[in-house]
């Protein structure tokens, strides 16, 4: 099914990032004739999400092209897996573990506290794009329940009372970045 690649000027995401993704894809030596090329699709989606932060349509089309498959096939895979997102997440992604061990140790109250302080619900992003909250199921650190991760950092034995303190660190960091603009 011949399809037209969206013209570069229609894209809003940085060409350098696309170049990085293309280099990654090139190294896979996809053979457009081989049905097994799709074995690499999920891996490429992981990479793309890592690079762009999310998988909007322009990226999906680009990947579909690289694999010579339908866009629908790519979007079907993306929608199936919780890990992939088509909308941007916050700069700081807060994940509250709601796995069983965390749940029976009060993780729900921790989640509520994050929601309360940031004024957003799980699944949403703050207006300034700084924070998003999500829940996940078990990061395998159940000994530290309740567990919260913020980007790559893992926080263990988080009690609702500790949430403000954890967030403060990021709030300071976030405002620090803006300082030069106002100065």
Partner 1 sequence: MLKEHTPLITSYPGLLAEHARCKPLLDSRLETGRTTGRRQILVCGGTGCHTSESALILENFQKQIARQGLGSAVKASATGCFGFCEKGPIVKVFPDDVFYVQVKPEDVEEIVDVHIIGNQRVKRLLYEEPQLKATVETQHAMSFYRKQQRIALRNCGLIAPEDINEYLATGGYLSLGKALTEMTPEAVIDVIKRSGLRGRGGAGFSTGRKWEFGRNYAGDEKFVICNADEGDPGAFMDRSIMEGDSHSVIEGMAIAGYAIGAHRGYVYIRAEYPLAVSRLQIALAQAREYGLLGHNILGSGFDFDIEVKLGAGAFVCGEETALIHSIQGERGEPRTKPPFPAQSGLWNKPTIVNNVETLANVPAIIARGAEWYAGIGTATSKGTKVFALAGQINNVGLVEVPMGTTLREIIYDIGGGIRGGKEFKAVQTGGPSGGCIPRQFLDTPIDYESLAQIGSIMGSGGMIVMSDKDCMVNIAKFYLEFTVDESCGRCLPCRIGTKRLHEILTNITEGKGTPADLVELRELSAVIMDASLCGLGQTAPNPVLSTMKYFWDEYEAHVLHKTCPAGVCQKLLRYEIIPDKCVGCTACARACPVGCISGAVKQLHVIDQSRCIKCGACMAKCKFKAIYRH
Using CB under 8 A, list all residues that contact partner 1: 35-36, 38-43, 45-46, 76-77, 80-84, 98-105, 136-145, 147, 152, 154-156
> What is the radius of gyration, based on Cα positions, of the chain?
19
Alpha helices per DSSP H over the chain: 15-26, 41-52, 57-67, 71-80, 100-103, 107-118, 163-182
Q: Which is nearer to ligand FES, 141 or 171 (CB)?
A: 141
With binding defined as CB under 6 A, does residue 64 bind ligand FES? no
Q: How far is the CB of 133 from ligand FES (least distance, A)?
A: 16
Give 165-173's long-range contacts (Cβ < 8 A, gap of 24+): 167/114, 167/117, 167/118, 167/131, 170/92, 170/130, 170/131
* Residues from 77 through 116 that contact ligand FES (CB under 6 A): 97, 99-102
Q: Closest distance between ligand FES and the C-beta of residue 97, in Å?
A: 3
Binding status of residue 142 toward ligand FES by CB under 6 A = yes
Binding stretches for ligand FES (CB under 6 A): 97, 99-102, 138-142, 145, 147
């Amino acid at each position: 099914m011949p399809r037209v690649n969206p013209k570069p000027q229609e894209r809003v995401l940085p060409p350098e990032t696309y170049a990085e993704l293309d280099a990654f894809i090139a190294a896979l030596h996809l053979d457009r004739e081989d049905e097994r090329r799709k074995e690499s699709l999920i891996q490429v989606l992981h990479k793309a999400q890592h690079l762009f932060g999310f998988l909007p349509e322009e990226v999906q089309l680009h990947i579909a092209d690289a694999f010579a498959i339908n866009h629908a096939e790519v979007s079907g895979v993306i929608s199936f897996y919780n890990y992939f997102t088509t909308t941007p997440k916050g700069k700081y992604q807060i994940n509250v573990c709601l796995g069983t061990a965390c749940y029976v140790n009060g993780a729900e109250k921790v989640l509520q506290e994050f929601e309360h302080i940031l004024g957003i619900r799980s699944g949403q992003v703050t207006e300034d794009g700084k924070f998003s909250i999500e829940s996940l199921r078990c990061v395998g650190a159940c000994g530290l329940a309740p567990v919260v991760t913020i980007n790559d950092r893992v926080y263990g034995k988080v009690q609702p009372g500790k949430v403000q303190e954890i967030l403060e660190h990021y709030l300071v960091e976030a405002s620090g970045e803006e300082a030069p603009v106002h100065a």
